[in-house]
Amino acid sequence: MPPIRVGVIRCDLHALYYAALMDQHDPDLLWRPELGLGGHFYFYTCYADPRKITVPTVSGFRIAKVWDENRQLAENMSTIFYGRPQVCDTFEEVSDDVDMVYVADCNGDGSDHLKLATPGIRKRVPTFVDKPFACEAKDALAIVDMAKKRRTPVLSLSILRTVPQLTQFARRFDEVGGAQFGVIKGGGPTLAGQIHAISMAQHVFGNGVESVECMGQQPLAYIHLNYGERKDRPSAGVVLNCWSGPTPHCAFFVSAYGPGGVIHSPPVGDFEFPWGAAKNLEITKEMMRTRKPPVPYDDMIENVAVATAARKAQKLGRTVKLSEVLKR
């Protein structure tokens, strides 16, 4: 079976991160900070052999085209992949003669994702949009509406939405008689990190957030998720402590409280994230096989809607329902 030809838009650390799990590359070049941007650190931990990858990879992909506003970054990425990927002059070219588009975003807010994803979706090229799916709920809705109109699948997943270590943690709720209340620490000052925290809540405690509150001196510092009357969700909700200080190796932590006590997760950080990335790539392959979205669009939209509603809640000082920001 021929490999899935991937066009990459934006050649930042996340682009290199995912691409290194998809396709053959030069580990020595990935190791060089000015080229690999630190991507080697997470994948090559056998220090006796710095060319031996120690995380799961997913075969069946080939990086075919790359583009970045900073052309040097695109050329660097092509070099790491043995010069095979074509360096494009515009992001619109990336979706020509490829099977899939990947829109990368390491530290951004997703505000340009609608623009960057549009050419490929209009050409009916399946597209993976790095988190955050979008900055505002209206843009997430626009991407999904366009994908449905063009009958082209789109996928957006945070690593925290699928990392297996969190799946294992969520199976422990019976130890405390079920989760009545949840607490998550991690996320930091950027929307990209805060979307990770929201995704972590979706993964561990489930989707179906009805409303949010938000407070703090910084944007989206502390967010409270309410699930309404759902019996299968924490009745007291989940608190996301995004601005709560640094953690080792970008780690996130989660605690679940129930009538029988509390359970705390180990750190889920840089050395666990690659397993989530590999899971996302397996899900992406499923999308390519079926030509259908492998994750409900409502889940992807909810992820952004929580952040949009939280901004509104913090500004107004009141509870905001997600339905308020999901009006078309």
Domain residue limits, the chain: 4-159+274-295, 160-269+306-321
- In the prediction, which pLDDT does 287 show? 98
- In the prediction, which pLDDT does 67 show? 98
User: Please, what are the averages of pLDDT over each run of 10 residues along the chain (328 residues)?
Assistant: 96 97 97 92 91 96 98 98 98 98 93 98 98 97 98 98 97 97 96 96 98 97 97 97 94 98 97 97 98 96 98 98 93
For the segment 188-239, what is each residue's pLDDT rounded down to a tens digit?
A: 999 999 999 999 999 999 999 999 999 999 999 999 999 999 999 999 999 9
H or E segment and range at residue 183:
strand 181-185
- In the prediction, which pLDDT does 58 show? 98
Out of 3.30.360.10, 3.30.1360.120, 3.30.70.330, 3.30.70.20, the CATH code matching 160-269+306-321 is 3.30.360.10
Q: In which residue are the tokens 């095979």 written?
A: 84
For the segment 228-251, what is each residue's pLDDT rounded down to a tens digit?
A: 999 999 999 999 999 999 999 999
- In the prediction, which pLDDT does 92 show? 98
Q: So what's the architecture of 4-159+274-295 in CATH?
A: 3-Layer(aba) Sandwich (3.40)
- In the prediction, which pLDDT does 29 show? 96
Phi, psi of 39 (to 5 degrees): -65, -30
Cα gap 87→92, rounded to integer Å: 12
Stated pTM of the model: 0.96
Residues 6 or more apart whose CB falls under 8 angstroms from that of 21 comprise 43, 55, 56, 57, 58, 274, 277, 278, 281
